[in-house]
Structure 1
Amino acid sequence: MAKAPEGPTPGYLVWRLANKWRVAVDRALAPLGLTHAQYVMLSSLFGMERAGLRPSQRELADRTGLEPLYVSKLARSLEADGLIARARDLADTRTVRLTLTEKGQEAVRPALDLVQELLDQLLAPLGGQDDARTAAFVRDLTALLDAPLDRSRKDS
């Protein structure tokens, strides 16, 4: 049996940081009429479109880490608000492709700036976005995100 940790566990700290970030982004975006989840959808779609992609809802779910059903619900809501357009793929009618509307592009640009300012504040204790400590932090977070959490897998 593992010894009880002194101080907060890594899982607790990850949970606290994720919640701190979500709340800060929600508060910053509220004057723009956006939630953090809507921002994640719009900013990810914006980035994918800039890369020349026209993603499906499933591809956007994979990119964002959001559940496909949640992406579908958010997409319907964002479409109703005139921020995105949803269209059936001509080659596979089961697939729904997403694009930002002009209104969506106008909404996401100031949101990107606000979240960038928050990111600068968050990473300041590590030396800022261009610091080696931040690069190491990003590598560590990426490794954790890439690690499977399959409960049925037995430890070797």
Structure 2
Amino acid sequence: MFKNAEPSQSIGLQFWSVYSKWQLRVISCLKPLNITHTQFVVLTAILWLEDQHQIVTQASVVAITGIDKMTLSKSLKNLVFQGFVVKSKNESDSRSLILRLSDDGELLTKKALFLIEKLDEEFFGIIGQKKENDFRELLLEYKKCS
């Protein structure tokens, strides 16, 4: 009935198990800041794009994060309501809006980013730098294939 003799041989189950442990820690880390994991990803994508002096649109956030448009739209609506993201008219493309972090949004994002990067170092660092780099490369490879 099962392809694998043992649950430990199921790559999907093992990936899900590790991801779930990591995600629970991320959620716990972000809870005091009152933002969701998705909101954190959106905020950091905007911060990164701004840091690269790029015009930030929903399309550019989707391109970096892979978040589906509906989920992004809902997250942005909440982030705008909370005062962390500001939308403005895009003079060069009337079909899109320009996104930017408010001052409060930038402060929150930098604080959250510090916490999550520390968490990532602790969580993924236990396997050693080489394996961590290999894991990152494998994830990037899978991302290209899908």
Which whole-Å CA distance do the structure 2 matches of 1:3 and 1:35 have between them? 36
Tell me, yes or no, if the aligned pair for 1:84 and 1:104 is still in contact at 8 Å. Answer: yes
Once the two structures are superposed, the pairs formed by residues 71-86 of structure 1 within 5 Å of their partners are 71-86=72-87
Q: RCO higher in 1 or 2 (8 Å CA, sep ≥ 6)? A: 2
Residue type matched to 2:142 in 1?
Answer: L
Aligned pair in 2 of structure 1 residues 84, 3: CA closer, same or farther (>3 Å)?
closer
1:23-102 paired onto structure 2 within 5 Å? 23-102=24-103
Contact 1:75 1:86 in 2 (8 A): no
Runs (4 or more) in structure 1 with deviation over 4 Å come to: none
1:49 & 1:56 partners in 2: Cα distance? 11
Paired letter, 1:95 = S
Q: Which amino acid aligns with 2:98?
A: R
Q: Deviations over 1:61-90 (max 9, x none)?
A: 121111011111111110111101112311
Any gaps of 5 or more consecutive residues in structure 2? none
Please state whether the residue corresponding to 2:4 is helix, strand or coil. Answer: coil
Identify the structure with the greater helix proportion: 2
Report what 1:137 is aligned to.
135
Report the CA distance between 1:5 and its aligned residue: 4.5
Partner of 1:7 in structure 2? 7
Question: Aligned partners of 2:104 and 2:141: how far apart in 1?
Answer: 36
For 2:125 and 2:130, locate their aligned partners in 1 and report how far apart those are by CA, in whole Å: 12
| TM-score, normalization by structure 1 | 0.85
The CA RMSD measured in Å over matched residues stands at 1.8
* TM-score of the pair, normalised by structure 2: 0.90
What SS does the aligned partner of 1:34 have?
Answer: coil
Aligned length: 145
